[in-house]
Amino acid sequence: MMALGPVMLGLDGGELSAEEREILRHPLVGGVILFARNYHSPDQIAVLTAAIHALRQPRLLIAVDHEGGRVQRFRDGFTRLPAVGQLGEIYYRDVLRAKQLARATGWLMATELRAVGVDLSFAPVLDLDHGVSGIIGDRAFHHDPEVVADLAHAYMSGMQKAGMEAVGKHFPGHGGIAADSHLELPVDPRPYDELAGTDLLAFERMIHYGLAALMPAHVLYPQVDDRPAGFSPRWLKDILRRRLEFQGVIFSDDLDMAGAQEIGSPPERAHAALTAGCDMVLSCNDRHAAAAILDHLRYAPDPVTQARLIRMHGRGHLTLERLRHNPVWRRAVQLVRDYDTFPLLEMDI
């Protein structure tokens, strides 16, 4: 039995190649992240995840970005999920309805993914919609951190009911700057006290509610530290672990993004993120970068990290066939397709 390694990788297509099978057995690998390029249909993706899980024990974690709105990797054959910003709009009119909708949406997202063998979705977004970030925008629930935490808590409870833990992102908050960390390194000039009274509040509340995992932002906060948050021991060890008492998994954001590249070569980025406090690093879209990380990263398994990562495995054994005949699922689909008018029925969610 192998330990789960600290690296999560992307795949090229809709089935495993012989080369990918070999790569995924590398002791430094601990997970796979799936994208639209890996998806053709629910049945196909279920075959792919089963093949990945069969490679080793404990089984590799399988993740996807499946927030809804602009960020939903699996579409045809899955319920089209609204952007969670719609829940924030409903919250102002009807708090109870918004929270019930958030719980149902989190459950539906997670239960559809669990039925095809996906362990976790990198959701929910806990950033605030300050009205300046195009990359965040309606991916955020709201601009008020208390509303974000209230809706995200309901959303997380729905995910957990479906057998999936939540991953909050992008700590300590990506919504306050216009720059996109996929394309450049954003710089947020606000001091810590201002961040603590706004963006950090949603993360602090969700940690209190038992959030299992977080993903830090590739954003530089120069009044706090001279390294981007995902590579900063001050942010991850001093603030997140010690001050906020977070005990869950820390996943890096994609090390292939432009916001990470000034840290150094791919192995240097991976080493810097792990040394700063990440438990698992992501190399999603650059096979050469991933190979360099696997060839040059030096890492000794940590029992505490292993315990955290094992908690992220999905629970339950729901199949696609059972899901498609589940009346609760059918009602949840109707509810999510018509947030504003579909009656809230009693559902075991």
Which long-range contacts (C-beta less than 8 Å, at least 24 apart) are formed by 196-199? 198/128, 198/145, 198/173, 199/127, 199/128, 199/145, 199/172, 199/173, 199/175
Query: Mean pLDDT in each 10-residue stretch from start to end of the chain (349 residues)?
Result: 90 95 96 97 97 96 96 94 96 94 96 97 96 89 97 98 97 87 86 96 98 96 96 98 97 87 90 96 93 92 91 91 91 89 68
How much is the pLDDT for 68?
92
CB 184 within 8 A of CB 259: yes
- Let me know: does 198 contact 221? Beta carbons within 8 Å: no
Break the chain into its structural domains and give their ranges: 7-27+40-337
Number of H helices, E strands in the chain: 14, 10
**CA 14 vs CA 36, 112, 116, 259: distances in Å:** 9, 18, 14, 28
The confidence score (pLDDT) of residue 346 equals 61
Q: pTM (2 decimals)? A: 0.96
Amino acid in the structure at residue 38: N
> Which among 105, 160, 107, 348 has a CA at the least distance from the CA of 97?
105
Q: Among 67, 74, 71, which Cα is nearest to 45's? A: 74
> Residue 17: how many CB atoms within 10 A of its CB?
11
Specify the CATH number of the domain 7-27+40-337.
3.20.20.300
If DSSP states are collapsed to H, E and C, what string results for 164-217? CCCEEEEECCCCCCCCCCCCCCCECCCCHHHHHCCHHHHHHHHHHCCCCEEEEC
Residue positions annotated with a catalytic role = 182, 253
